[in-house]
Structure 1
């Protein structure tokens, strides 16, 4: 198999244009734009897929993990119809919490109507939020991560460390701007699966990746997920 041409199907996560931030946080004047508003002005349906921000919908009986910050909530009823692998649960919620060094994934098959709205305002990673407006099916290859314009010397391959950072997704090719091609390939062609990548279309700078073993995902075991933050 030609690894460079191998095609990976992904679920692309597409951000809404509105960004919302904790009402208690003082925002610099330069950021005060029409699409950047206080969370108190947001009307978010229970369980709606989103990235970051102070508004979280927790399953009944589940507490907000201490020392971590809310990074993402996936409504699987919205996301799973785009899953060509059949690996994702068809319903329920996946919630992701992190401090950028470590993290926690929580899965619950609770109905959205039974979730408990929780507000946690802070100024740490993922303090502001955006709704996941839509999902789409896309594909990607490692060949797309080479840029001939980057070749300056005879030994250069044109490997672009940043290609892939611009998108948020489930599945596909691993992305980390500090890793070499060989390291990216080793992870991508291993038994690990990208359960979530939050890219710069949401963060504007930096990529959060969450890996899970294929067998764990099949068995709905989310206790051993690996979190990694990549930023230049």
Structure 2
């Protein structure tokens, strides 16, 4: 496992973060924050959170959940070396991070068939970030180890003198690869990695989240069958 390599689809944040216009820009907010009414978001544009939601016709915002984002599969699937993702359509994510519950909607319609909804609130996922760049990459479990930095870490080092870093990987946003949750131990992470579950979506701290990682897991067979009813939802607070 130590040297095992995983194929991933990595993605990056747009420079602006947009917030509901009903909140308004406060003095404490960074200068890259703008109102959702001041940013052009094409229908179906991949993004994380925010008040602007594109849904297929006839589908309403799920009750008691917050919109966590969506991905345009036509933009992501060209970088999918596993062949597991649908080639076209949208994956749309909703969640309640306080209860680790959520819903994933898969729709195979063209972007211009989506219907825009505006849902402004001040709860989790209230701000939005467009997904800018998408690329194929790899990662290895060995990346989660490093040289100890103090005596406590030396005491917890393995037989090779390396320390398992709970926070490695939190700065990455991706599809597939290793499960990341800084509040879980190495054995718990390995249990997921060695199971039939895969990372459907991970949004990390590379300009999406200030502190914390949002992840959705799905069983491999469920993804093959396009069954998104049994996904698992995790918020790892760093």
Report TM bin, short chain.
Answer: over 0.9
Structure 1 residues 182 and 151, CA gap change in structure 2 (3 angstroms): farther
RMSD of aligned C-alpha atoms? 1.1
Give 3-state SS (helix, strand or coil) of 2:156's partner.
coil
Query: What are the within-5 Å matches in structure 2 for residues 1-232 of structure 1?
Result: 3-33=1-31, 35-100=32-97, 101-150=100-149, 152-153=151-152, 155-157=155-157, 158-201=163-206, 202-232=208-238
Cα offset, 1:149, TM superposition: 2.9
Cα offset, 1:32, TM superposition: 4.5
Number of residues of Structure 1 aligned to a counterpart in Structure 2: 229
Cα offset, 1:27, TM superposition: 4.1
Give 3-state SS (helix, strand or coil) of 1:187's partner.
helix
Give 3-state SS (helix, strand or coil) of 2:75's partner.
helix
Hey, what's the Cα distance between the residues in 1 that align with 2:171 and 2:82?
A: 23
Hey, what's the Cα distance between the residues in 2 that align with 1:227 and 1:64?
A: 18
Hey, what's the Cα distance between the residues in 2 that align with 1:27 and 1:181?
A: 41
Hey, what's the Cα distance between the residues in 2 that align with 1:83 and 1:185?
A: 23
Cα offset, 1:141, TM superposition: 0.9
Hey, what's the Cα distance between the residues in 2 that align with 1:152 and 1:169?
A: 33
Give 3-state SS (helix, strand or coil) of 1:193's partner.
strand
Hey, what's the Cα distance between the residues in 2 that align with 1:43 and 1:175?
A: 32
Cα offset, 1:112, TM superposition: 0.4
Cα offset, 1:72, TM superposition: 1.3
Hey, what's the Cα distance between the residues in 2 that align with 1:49 and 1:187?
A: 27
Hey, what's the Cα distance between the residues in 1 that align with 2:114 and 2:147?
A: 49
Hey, what's the Cα distance between the residues in 2 that align with 1:188 and 1:150?
A: 27
| TM-superposition CA deviations, 1:34-91 (whole Å, max 9, x none) | x210000011110010001100100011110111111111000001100000000000
Normalised to the residue count of structure 2, the TM-score between the two structures is 0.93
